[in-house]
A and B are shown apart, each in its own frame.
Chain A
Amino acid sequence: MIFSTLEHLLTHISFSVVSIGITIHLITLLVDEIKGLYDSSEKGMIVTVFCLTGLLITRWIYSRHFPLSDLYESLIFLSWSFSIIHRILYFKNHQNHLSTITASSAIFTQGFATSGFLTKLHQSGILVPALQVQWLMMHVSMMVLGYAALLCGSLLSTALLVITFRKVIRIFGKSNNFLNGNESFCFGKIQYMNEKSNVLLNTYFLSARNYYRYQVIQQLDRWSYRIISLGFLFLTIGILSGAVWANEAWGSYWNWDPKETWAFITWTIFGIYLHTRTNTNFEGVNSAIVASLGFLIIWVCYFGVNLLGIGLHSYGSFN
């Protein structure tokens, strides 16, 4: 009883704190930076991290198994991962709009987890025999961490796409000689710049504001690449540890189970993303498109398969 009250309390604190935090983030994004507000939202995120950690630990203690056995628990873990990634980003790179994306991801998953839609799943159930092993901890935590990192990275890429395409539309909306006139000016210069070939580059040097925008795009690009690489690493470890586990429990390391297959599809898509990064012609917008596609596929993999409740991974289905 005490545990469920505690859990209830922690869930609601974390949700409200993260929603206040995101509001403050949006305010700082729209209005120019207000130092005090920004700091308070960061403090809010710290509180969220602690609340979610407390929530997971509470659940661990009273259900006596690692809290990742169904969809609700994995959603809480997902929002915990988002807030951890948020903290890491914050440490690496102070005062950054990137953190808005991680914070808002945290609020959405947390909101969904605590919404009435999943109320039935809130009571922690028992573990089916196949889940009673340490592999659960390794496999599921790695998968969810991987999903969290990949979702963050692909959201950054989506942000890049939004910014870029708004820019491109504006450029092409203007007259053509606007572009041509700058090309000759820029070309001499560009040869000495060891930057990526980007049509946008030409125009970004026009004014300080455009240069700032170019920098934001570059930052988004580089950080999304870095976070997706990290997520890919987690996903690889998660899939492979799952395969080893399946060889112990189900009799084969690969069963073409729908969830397995979709995890592999996700892995392939982000593999494509990483390959597009090795070629400078695909870098930037093209790789961002791939990453945004990956965003959808992660959701199919994470939710869609559970929604249908098919295959061997039907532990966390809606029923």
Chain B
Amino acid sequence: MATVNPVRTPNPSLVRTHCLKTPILHSTFNPQVHTLFNKRITLSFTISSKLKASQDVRKKKENVSRKIVLSDSSPPPLKNDEVSTKVESRGGVIGLVKRLPRRVLSVLSNLPLAIGEMAAIAALMALGTVIEQGEAPDFYFEKYPEDNPVLGFFTWRWILTLGFDHMFSSPIFLGLLVLMGLSLMSCTYTTQIPLVKVARRWNFLHSAEAIRKQEFSDTLPRASIQDLGVILMGAGYEVFLKGPSLYAFKGLVGRFAPIGVHLAMLLIMAGGTLSATGSFRGSVTVPQGLNFVIGDVLGPTGFLSTPTDAFSTEVHVNKFYMDYYDSGEVKQFHTDLSLFDLGGKEVLRKTISVNDPLRYGGITIYQTDWSFSALQILKNDEGPFNLAMAPLKVNGDKKLFGTFLPVGDVNSPNVKGISMLARDLQSIVIYDQEGKFAGVRRPNSKLPIDIDSTKIVIVDAIGSTGLDLKTDPGVPIVYAGFGALMLTTCISYLSHAQIWALQDGTSVIVGGKTNRAKAEFPDDMNRLLDQVPELVESSLSSQSDSISG
């Protein structure tokens, strides 16, 4: 039904250009929406007419449209139901109140509006990636100055007033998403569900004329409709046979699937809302061997965030280590974590790594970062001493840490000492008091290095692990939505094909249509029809007997 629009327009190019503009320019919408809407009331449309947006021209061509709607197997009873309910609801003030939701629904389920919303969301998202997000206002004052606006009008005022510095949480963007959700709901309710109701009614076409009017039609001389039915059944069609008429369909689930897609989108949106309002997040850098309490790290993100008992769990970092490639580059980070409850009992122990987080009581702990905490050394066989490593600023992403071991008089104004630098936990580069390169040592190698009669052994390199913690009650809902969306999108690829056939004497008239696979359908049909056996004279007589009987 939806794919075939029987309405002919006297000047379609005019309508065409009009339609072309509306999805792009959001501001030109409202007038059109209103006119659509008024016409809808005065004409009391059928369900089938709601599916089409060309109401502007409907009035003139109503006779044509009705004629073809009938041939299009739109079931007349449904039409009458709709008309009668509309008449009932038109009763004074109460009727107006009753009609209001319907008005809102019809506006929201308007296809051009939905397309406009999608385009607007896409445009805002694109803008959100162009404008730097989450910077301080000073940044925007400088980048988008008033005396030299981008494109002649775009200044920081626009950005800060409209909240484009935090696009994806700005009221405009969120409002559009809400509107989109409302459109999804109303479209499902007013358009998709009735569409399925129509599609589910299987009906026979009894006139050869109607069958020939289908998108695909053919006439098979000397063939029997029963043979055709068997072949269609073999090709996966549901076949219904009544007297000389045949109706077959396949892939009806492809008609239902778009509803599922919309519902899955709504589910994802609901889950996303819950995620945004009911989560806790936090990150922490913990040196190996130390503890932290989960609740101290996590901070709420929204008003629905409520802490759980698991927040009192204490996390102990047993060990943090890295794997390396032969070339020396980091392959993977690992952190061995133990979780203790309030009574000090270990409830869980797991070694986490990137891509393999720990989950406990709704809390997820991710391995996201690392740092160099301290260097453990022996100085002239004394110690061990722990030297704190400081991160040093360098250009680029590579990390660099350094520490300093004073030698001689610590209280003198220009204290000298040994510097130690490290890029990772593998090797430490050592410089002497003069700043000259002295050597490279690996932790655990126990190999001493002698600098001006100071013997230094690097015992261990203690890293600290960077952990991200979160709770997210929205994840199960979002995942359910993801699963549903994938499944329904796959099913949506299926095409709903309908075939009608009529035994007309010794020949069979076949017609059919499909909603998606229009390109393949004629080929598939021809292949199927080629399989229908041609009847020879003797069986022909028995055939006609069986039909008459």
Contact = CB atoms under 8 A, between A and B. Distances in A.
Interface string B483-523: 00110011011000000000000000000010011111001
Contacts of B29: none
A225 B493 contact: no
A165 to B, nearest CB: 13
Interface stretch (B39-47, B243-251, B329-337): B329-337
Contact of B366 (A132, A240, A251, A305): A251
B272 A226 contact: no
B19 A286 contact: yes
A223 interface: yes
B294 interface: no
A12 to B, nearest CB: 29
A46 interface: no
B12 to A, nearest CB: 5
Given A198-B12, A233-B489, A282-B19, A219 B475 contact: no
B3 A236 contact: no
B57 to A, nearest CB: 9
B2 A278 contact: yes
Interface in B156-202: 168
B115 interface: yes
Q: Interface centre among B327, B355, B485, B486, by most A CB within 10 Å?
A: B355
Contacts of B290: none
Contact of B516 (A226, A248, A253, A271): A226
Nearest to A193: B213
Contact of A187 (B8, B67, B128, B523): B8
Contacts of A251: 357, 364, 366, 368, 468, 470
Contacts of B12: 197-199
A281 interface: yes
B327 to A, nearest CB: 7
B8 A191 contact: yes
B330 A129 contact: yes
A271 B485 CA distance: 13
Interface in A105-139: 126, 129-130, 132-133, 135
A133 B355 contact: yes
Given A129-B353, A278-B2, A233 B493 contact: yes
Q: Interface centre among A225, A248, A252, by most B CB within 10 Å?
A: A252
Contacts of B2: 278-279
A231 to B, nearest CB: 11
B128 A261 contact: yes
B23 interface: yes
B382 to A, nearest CB: 38
A121 B242 CA distance: 67
Contacts of B49: none
Contacts of A233: 489-490, 492-493
Contacts of B393: none
A244 interface: yes
Contacts of A248: 355-357
A289 B168 contact: no
Nearest to B169: A256
Interface string A37-69: 000000000000000000000000000000000
A60 to B, nearest CB: 18
B215 interface: yes
B364 A286 contact: no
A129 B118 contact: no
Contacts of B272: 254
Interface string A270-298: 01100110111110011001000000000
Given A226-B516, A275-B115, A281-B19, A253 B475 contact: yes
A281 B8 contact: no
B115 A237 contact: no
A281 B13 CA distance: 10
Interface string B1-12: 011111111101
Contacts of B111: 275, 278-279
A258 B356 CA distance: 24
Interface in B358-378: 364, 366, 368
Contact of A194 (B4, B64, B128): B4
Interface residues of B, number: 77
Contact of B118 (A190, A268, A280, A282): A268
B122 interface: yes
Given A191-B67, A197-B9, A219 B519 contact: yes
Contact of B354 (A130, A230, A289): A130
B261 to A, nearest CB: 9
A250 B486 CA distance: 22
B196 to A, nearest CB: 13
B52 A126 contact: no
Nearest to A282: B19
Nearest to B116: A272
A193 B3 CA distance: 14
Contacts of B121: 268
A191 B9 CA distance: 11
A265 interface: yes
Nearest to B123: A265
B5 A240 contact: no
A315 interface: no
A270 B356 CA distance: 34
A103 B4 CA distance: 33
Contacts of B118: 268, 271-272, 275
A190 B4 contact: no
B479 to A, nearest CB: 7
A31 B493 CA distance: 37
B126 A265 contact: yes
Contacts of B119: 268, 272
A182 interface: no
B519 A194 contact: no
A97 interface: no
A13 interface: no
B331 A281 contact: no
B125 interface: yes
Contacts of A20: none
Contacts of B126: 261-262, 265
A198 B516 CA distance: 19
Contacts of B478: 253
B514 to A, nearest CB: 10
Nearest to A289: B20
Interface in A214-254: 219, 222-223, 225-226, 229-230, 232-233, 236-237, 240, 243-245, 247-254
B482 A244 contact: yes
A4 interface: no
Nearest to A258: B129
Contacts of A253: 475, 478
Given A191-B67, A244-B479, A272 B23 contact: yes
A262 B53 contact: no
Given A236-B486, A279-B52, 12 more contacts: A126-B325, A197-B12, A226-B517, A244-B482, A261-B125, A262-B126, A262-B129, A272-B122, A278-B2, A279-B5, A279-B51, A305-B129
Interface of B: 2-10, 12-13, 15-16, 19-20, 23, 51-54, 64, 67-68, 71-72, 111, 114-115, 118-119, 121-122, 125-126, 128-129, 133, 168, 213-215, 272, 325, 327, 329-333, 353-357, 364, 366, 368, 468, 470, 472, 475, 478-479, 482, 485-486, 489-490, 492-493, 513, 516-520, 523
Interface of A: 92-93, 126, 129-130, 132-133, 135, 183, 187, 190-199, 219, 222-223, 225-226, 229-230, 232-233, 236-237, 240, 243-245, 247-254, 256, 258, 261-262, 264-265, 268-269, 271-272, 275-276, 278-282, 285-286, 289, 305
12 contacts: A92-B520, A132-B354, A190-B8, A198-B12, A199-B12, A199-B13, A233-B489, A251-B468, A261-B125, A261-B126, A281-B53, A286-B19
